[in-house]
Structures are given as structure tokens and as C-alpha cells.
Structure 1
Amino acid sequence: MNQQEFISQLQEALSRLPASERQDIISDYQEYFRDGLAAGRSEADIAAGLGDPRQLARELTARHHIARWESRKSFGNLFAVVGAIAGMGLLNFLLAAPFLFYLWMLTMAALASTGILIGGLVLFGTFACNQLFGWPVIHEAPEVRAIWSDFAQGGPEGNIHIRGSNGERVDVVREASSGRASIHIQSSDGTVSLERNASDALGRLHIKDDTGQVDIGGLNWGLSAQGMLLTGLLLMALGGGGLFLCYLLARWTWRGLVAYGRYQVGLLAKARRVDD
């Protein structure tokens, strides 16, 4: 292989590097050829001493990505280091694929922890603003909850029916064994039904008149102010702890992987010098 063929293959294999850095590398190896020719060596001998230009390009690419990661530590640069090391054959597919999946899972865990932390901060901030400024208003009805629970759970099982002179009616149905209860109100204008399920939540609200009807399910009492504070603190603790754990895992992963890549690249460079 002569100089032109070697430089051409090297330049093609370095196509993923920035143009300025690629040109600097090509200039260095062109100068290396000139020095070798001046020392009386042939182009074929110099090219043979440098080895396969494609393998050399992979080594140089790995060095580039390692240096880039050292200057700016990020998941993107870490993925590039993994890809470069795998491309050199130092990390085969059976190891690279699970490792990339681990990095993806670590990224998702960090994003999830961030979301949990933000949710906790929002709840805590809402509670703090409510206590300091009275806004936003946190709606809670402990008296209504207590009355409703006493009605649903207390007393014998049975029904109450009240009839009005103009066709109005109120039906109260209570099932003490199952914990379900409902109130049904009917008049000439329409009907209203309110149901409570066994989990102490408002399960369904049904409103109907001559023009239409509304049916809402899955109702609940919502968070109280104290519940909002405790939930916010819990989410902040979980999110913050998750982020800290992800940070530690990422830091250990970065250090171990880059140290491995730097070590392997050094071995290749040392072997190349021995061959020369």
C-alpha cells in the first residue's frame, strides 16, 4: 500500500470526526510519510508499520470521543465512547448491547426521578403559597366526609323513602355489609344521584333534567392541606434520592468505562510502537 492509498482510506474512515480535526490528523500522517521517505524508507514499508488505516481510524476516533467526554461529561458523549470502543472490537456486541440498555435504563430512571422531584416541589409550593397567601385554595370538606361516612357505615342496613305531595321523592339506600350507599333525589325538574363506594370515595355523580344528563364517575375527596404537604415531601425525598443514586451510578460508570477505553487504546498504541 502506498501513501496515497493509505491516506485515502484513513480519511474515509475518519469521516465522522469534525473536518478541522480530520484535516489535522491527515496532515500529521502526511508529515510522518515525508519523514520516513527522507530517512530512506519506502511508502509500502511506512504504511505497513502504521497498520490497517481503518483500525487506526477507529483508534483515533475513540481517542477523540474520550477527550470530548473528559471536557464535557454527558450521557451523549458517554454513548459515543461506548460506540467507539465497541467499534474497535474491544467491547463485543454481547457486552455492548446490555451495557447500552443499562445506560438507557439509567437515563430513564434519572428522568423519572426528575419528574417525581418536580411533582413534589409543585405540591410543596402549592401548600406553602396556600399557607402564606391563601392562594390557591385547597378545597377539602372534612365535615361532609365525616357525615357521609357516618351515614354510610352507621346504623342498620336498609332504605329510607320520602315522598312529596307534588311527586318529589328522596331515596336513601344504605348497605352496611358492603359499605356502599347512595342518595337519589327526584323532582319535576330532574334527578340527582350521589353514590359512595366501599373505599370511602364518591364513586359516581349523576344529574339529569329535561335537556340532558351528566354522569361523572371516579370521584374522590382529593388531598387535604396536610396530605398535600406530606405527599409533596415524600415525592421530593423519592425524587431527590433517585437522582442522587443515578448520579452515583453514572459517575462510577463513566469513570470505569473511560478508564477501560483509555487503557485499551494505550495498549494498541504501545503495540503499534513495538511493531515500528
Structure 2
Amino acid sequence: MKQDAFIQQLRQELGRLPKEAVDEIVADYREYIGDALAAGRQEEEVIAALGDPVKLARELKAQANYRQWEKRRSFGNLMRVVGAVAGLGFLQLVLLVPFLLYLFVLTLGYVISSALAIAGLVTVLAITSHHFFGKPALDALPFSLTESNDASTNAALSGDAASADEKAADALSDMKDLKIVGNRFVFDLQDGGKVNLVTRAGPLAIRKDNDKLEITAPSDAARALLTNGQDSTLSIARDDVTVLDLRDEDGDRVSFARTGPNGKSAWHIRGEDDENVSFEQDPNGHTSRLVIKSGEDSVTIDGTKIAIANGKDHVQISNSGGLLANSANHGMAFGYALAMLAFGILGLVLCVWLTRFTWRALARYVKHQIDIVTASLDREQAT
């Protein structure tokens, strides 16, 4: 191979390097070839001693990239040196594959650790935001309060409220003319008392005047639903009654109505001085809603909501049944958030340590390979 062909191929293989670096390398080799020819050596012999221009260009590129990395030690420059070294032979190329896989795993570790740390930090700040920014806590009690100086209202809040079932049972037990025994309505009417019924067999009317009990029934089937008891009482199965309306001589009134085919029912009890109690019951007798009113004062128990009002002031406590569960859930979420934050930070520390270790090990490996290349080039030039 002639000098011009060698130089042309060498310049072509060095094309990715900066033009100034390529011109400097080409000038050095022209000078070397010129000195060899002046010493009486044959041109073909000198070119053959320099070796394959493709392999020579790879070694020169590795050297040039390494010098650039020494001037500016960045990750990009180091990767260019690694790529140049990998192109020197099959063994270096094989070693590059597990290294790239290791870099991928390390990058994935950075991504996962950063995501855990950020998610944990955001969750911790969200849960504890009421301490830092004045935001309400996630498990704060959902109270709706207005200022009140009423003693009865404050006493109702400070005391332990009885359950709706107990209050409904107390209201029914206070009735004189009507008792509930098992699954039957038992009527013990006093003078002046009367009750109107709508049964599955038709209407019924019962009245007591001057200690005389009078029953009015358009059909014998409706009359047959009544059962005589002791002490002039009458009873009827609760399931046979659709509507009940009872009044006594004092003006007290009790109303019962079946509100659906599934056994739900509604009660309304009205006493003196505009005092009344209303509640709803399921087929098992459990009260789902209770309203107690006395003039402008009222207490409402509806599921997990309790409302107390006196006409001017109003206090409402809602979701009381779920507070402990919410607090436990938020406490568990806070624990998970702290765990994510801790694992994320530990992961980032480990990734940083591995990066520093990898950087040092890779720099030593690259320097070793460049030393081998430099020694090879020096031997070729000496030859």
C-alpha cells in the first residue's frame, strides 16, 4: 500500500474526531513516513510496518477520546472512551454487554429509589400538612358547630348519647294504651281511647267509652285477626297491620305505618306540649333514624350523624362511626409513607455509592486499556 492510500484511509477512519485532531495525527504520520523514507527504507515496507489503517485508527481514536476525558472528566466523555476501547477487539466488546446491563440496573435503581422517596415525602407532607401549613388533618373530626350558650345543648354534647334503639324502645314503653309484646300489638285502651287499624283483611276500629269496648269491623276476617287477652286487652299480630292510629283522651297520639314490602316501618308519637318522637325501624326492629322534638329543641340521630338544635344554635357530628377506622387507616398510611421515604433514601445512597465505585473502577480499566494501546503504537513506530 502506498503512502497516499494509507493516509486517505486513515483520515477516513478518523472522521468522527475533530478536524484539528485528525490533521495533527495525519501530519505526525506523514512526518514519520518521510523520516523513514529519508533513512533509505522502502515505502511499502514502512506502510506495512504501520499495520492496518482501520485498526490503527481505532487505537488512535481511543487515545484521543481518553485525552479528551482527562481534560474534562464527564460521564459522556467516559462513555466515548469505553465505546472506543470496546471497538478494539472481540473480548472488549463481550465485556461491554454485562457492563451495559449493569448500568441499566443501576439507572433503574435510581428511578425506583427516587420514586419511593418522592412518593413517601409527598404522603408525609400531605398527612402532616396541618402542622406545617395550617391545613386540616386527614383524620380531623368532621364537626359542624355554631356558638351556643344553652345549658341543655352543652349537657347533651358532654354526656354519652344513648343508642337510637334504646330511645325508640323507651318512647314505646311510655305509651299507656299500646304495648308491644313480642311480635304483637297489645291494646289496653283507657276511657276515651280509640284506635283505627288497616289490616291485611280490611279496616278495624276499636273504641272504649264508659269502660265499654266497642269493635267495628266491616268483615269477619278482619275481626278474626284480633285476640282477646286478660284484663279486657286485645292483641293483633304486627305483621297483619299496615297502618295504626291510636289516640287517648289526653290528646296523645301514636301512628304506625308499614313503609315497604321488606318490613320497614315508621313511628310517630306525639304527646303534650308539642312533644313528639319519630323513628324508623327495619324488619329486625333496629332503629335507623330517630327524631325527638320538644318545641324548638330537637335531637336527630340518623345513622352516623347526630344533630342537636334549640332554634338558635345547631351542633352536628357526622361520620362518628368511622373516626376510629379513619384514624387507623391514616396511621397506617403514615407508616407506609415513612417506610417508602426511608427505603427511597437508602436506595439513593446505595446507588450513589455504586456510581462512585463504578466510576473509579471504570476509570482504572480504561487507563489500563489505553496504556496497552499506547505501548502497541510505540512498538509499531519503533519497528
Measured against the shorter chain, the TM-score band is: 0.5 to 0.7
Match in the other structure for 1:195? none
- Residues 128, 98 of structure 1: alpha-carbon distance in 2 compared, 3 angstrom cutoff: same
The structure 2 residue matched to 1:239, chosen from 335, 339, 344, is: 344
The structure 1 residue matched to 2:368, chosen from 259, 263, 271, is: 263
Task: Using the TM superposition, give the Cα deviation of residue 230 of structure 1 relative to its aligned residue in structure 2, in angstroms.
Answer: 4.0
Match in the other structure for 2:181? none
SS of residue in 1 equivalent to 2:74: coil
- Residues 34, 237 of structure 1: alpha-carbon distance in 2 compared, 3 angstrom cutoff: farther
Match in the other structure for 1:192? none
**Matched-pair contact (CA < 8 Å) for 2:127–2:138:** no
Task: Using the TM superposition, give the Cα deviation of residue 36 of structure 1 relative to its aligned residue in structure 2, in angstroms.
Answer: 3.4
Q: How does 1:35-184 map to 2 (within 5 A)?
A: 35-70=35-70, 71-74=72-75, 76-89=76-89, 91-127=91-127, 129-135=129-135, 137-140=136-139, 163-164=264-265
- Residues 258, 162 of structure 1: alpha-carbon distance in 2 compared, 3 angstrom cutoff: farther
What residue identity is the alignment partner of 2:134? G
**Matched-pair contact (CA < 8 Å) for 1:90–1:264:** no
**Matched-pair contact (CA < 8 Å) for 1:85–1:91:** no
**Matched-pair contact (CA < 8 Å) for 1:119–1:232:** yes
**Matched-pair contact (CA < 8 Å) for 2:120–2:339:** yes
SS of residue in 2 equivalent to 1:91: helix
**Matched-pair contact (CA < 8 Å) for 1:138–1:225:** no
Task: Using the TM superposition, give the Cα deviation of residue 109 of structure 1 relative to its aligned residue in structure 2, in angstroms.
Answer: 1.2
SS of residue in 1 equivalent to 2:27: helix
What residue identity is the alignment partner of 1:267? I
| Cα shift readout 1:77-122 (whole Å, capped 9, x = no counterpart) | 4443332222101634443222211111111112222222222332
TM-score normalised to the size of structure 2? 0.46
What residue identity is the alignment partner of 2:9? Q
The separation in 2 between residues aligned to 1:114 and 1:106, in whole angstroms, is 12
The separation in 1 between residues aligned to 2:120 and 2:65, in whole angstroms, is 37
Q: Does 1:33 align with 2:33?
A: yes
- Residues 31, 224 of structure 1: alpha-carbon distance in 2 compared, 3 angstrom cutoff: farther
Q: Does 1:272 align with 2:377?
A: yes
Name the one with the larger strand percent: 2
RMSD over aligned CA atoms reads 3.7
What residue identity is the alignment partner of 2:358? T
- Residues 164, 114 of structure 1: alpha-carbon distance in 2 compared, 3 angstrom cutoff: same
The unaligned stretches of length 5 or more in structure 1 are 144-160, 173-183, 186-219
Match in the other structure for 1:6? 6
| Cα shift readout 1:215-245 (whole Å, capped 9, x = no counterpart) | xxxxx95996655654444333222221222
The separation in 2 between residues aligned to 1:113 and 1:171, in whole angstroms, is 55
**Matched-pair contact (CA < 8 Å) for 1:65–1:77:** yes
The separation in 2 between residues aligned to 1:108 and 1:248, in whole angstroms, is 15
The separation in 2 between residues aligned to 1:170 and 1:58, in whole angstroms, is 88
What residue identity is the alignment partner of 1:234? A
- Residues 272, 235 of structure 1: alpha-carbon distance in 2 compared, 3 angstrom cutoff: same
Task: Using the TM superposition, give the Cα deviation of residue 171 of structure 1 relative to its aligned residue in structure 2, in angstroms.
Answer: 8.6
Match in the other structure for 1:211? none
What residue identity is the alignment partner of 2:63? R
**Matched-pair contact (CA < 8 Å) for 1:118–1:236:** yes
SS of residue in 2 equivalent to 1:258: helix
What residue identity is the alignment partner of 1:163? K
What residue identity is the alignment partner of 1:84? A
The separation in 2 between residues aligned to 1:120 and 1:269, in whole angstroms, is 51
The separation in 2 between residues aligned to 1:40 and 1:124, in whole angstroms, is 81
SS of residue in 1 equivalent to 2:97: helix
Match in the other structure for 2:19? 19
The separation in 2 between residues aligned to 1:222 and 1:26, in whole angstroms, is 77
Task: Using the TM superposition, give the Cα deviation of residue 132 of structure 1 relative to its aligned residue in structure 2, in angstroms.
Answer: 2.0
Rg larger in structure: 2
The separation in 1 between residues aligned to 2:332 and 2:360, in whole angstroms, is 42
What residue identity is the alignment partner of 1:49? A
**Matched-pair contact (CA < 8 Å) for 1:138–1:224:** no
**Matched-pair contact (CA < 8 Å) for 1:3–1:43:** yes
The unaligned stretches of length 5 or more in structure 2 are 143-261, 268-279, 290-324
Task: Using the TM superposition, give the Cα deviation of residue 249 of structure 1 relative to its aligned residue in structure 2, in angstroms.
Answer: 1.9
**Matched-pair contact (CA < 8 Å) for 1:58–1:87:** yes
The sequence identity of aligned pairs, in percent, is: 37
